[in-house]
Amino acid sequence: METGRIILRPWLDSDAGTLFKYASDPEVGPRAGWPPHKSVEESFEIIRTVFSGEGMWAVEPALYSEMLSHADPTQVEGLSRFFKTGPGQYGEGDKFLGIKVPVTRGVVKSLWRQTSFEDLEACLGSGYHEVRLAALLALVEIFRHSHSESLRKICVDFYLSHTGRVNNLDLVDLSCYPLLGEWLLDKDRPVLYDLARNGKSLWERRVGIVSTLAFIRHGQLDDTFAIADILMDDPRDLIHKAVGWMLREAGKRDKAALEAFLRPRYRNMPRTMLRYAIEKFPENERRSYLVTMV
């Protein structure tokens, strides 16, 4: 059964992780008359035994279903390798459907208007990287097209309460600055400083710096430099790259301001961060920074 927004379909074994996320909540199960699930395995068994009966349907957002329909198994290995999903790597355990970003954008373009926050919640709960990306891009579209300050704030609050699911490179970089950064253009920005200082993951710290791209594009550079300073000693290479990227973008706007920032710091900066920051400098200037850094 299908409407414009949701699809009713039989339960699948692959739904066990999503079911467990909700069924393990002590506020959910008891109200429905059953104890909270204790493991994904228990949720899997419930799907196999209870939810396999006649008239038992799973509700799937159209956004989720449409993304699944574009799965391309031939692309899974390459995407998994690119986004470092192996043991000990930054994307460990992330799963892919094999969908390229332009395809995801096309799906979002056709469905964001009929996607609710409940749908976004379900999609962000998915183990599939591309489904989470679709949810984030849909959220950005809802925010971008809203003329209501209260709805825009709801979008931002929703985003900040789900940063645990914004947990890979493109998920951060394609969502934070057009949403959180744009929201903060005319507001105080302590949330970004808190994310940079106290982020629970490298992804939250990356949100803190990459969100400033929105400010840079409006000629506001001070927060980029200040947050870059906070992250100067961060141990993660992906933070070094993000900070260097934002410094480079700031330098495109005001090279003198970037040089003033670099001058007292470049000798002690992570080398990757410095290389990214000075990438657009003339070759002789780049060489001077890198040689005197040693």
For residue 193, the model assigns a pLDDT of: 98
For residue 11, the model assigns a pLDDT of: 67
Mean pLDDT score, 18-31: 74
Distance of CA 108 to the CA centre of its chain: 15
> What pTM was computed for the model?
0.82
For residue 149, the model assigns a pLDDT of: 96
Lowest pLDDT segment from 34-48, 107-121, 214-228: 34-48
Give the CATH fold of the 175-294 domain: Leucine-rich Repeat Variant (1.25.10)
Token duo for residue 162: 């789900």
Does 60 score more than 70 pLDDT? no
pLDDT tens-digit profile of 192-220?
999 999 999 999 999 999 999 999 999 99
Identify which has the larger pLDDT, 19 or 240: 240
Average pLDDT, the chain: 91
Q: Where are the domains of the chain?
A: 1-56, 71-167, 175-294
For residue 72, the model assigns a pLDDT of: 96
Strands (E), the chain: 6-9, 58-61
For residue 49, the model assigns a pLDDT of: 85
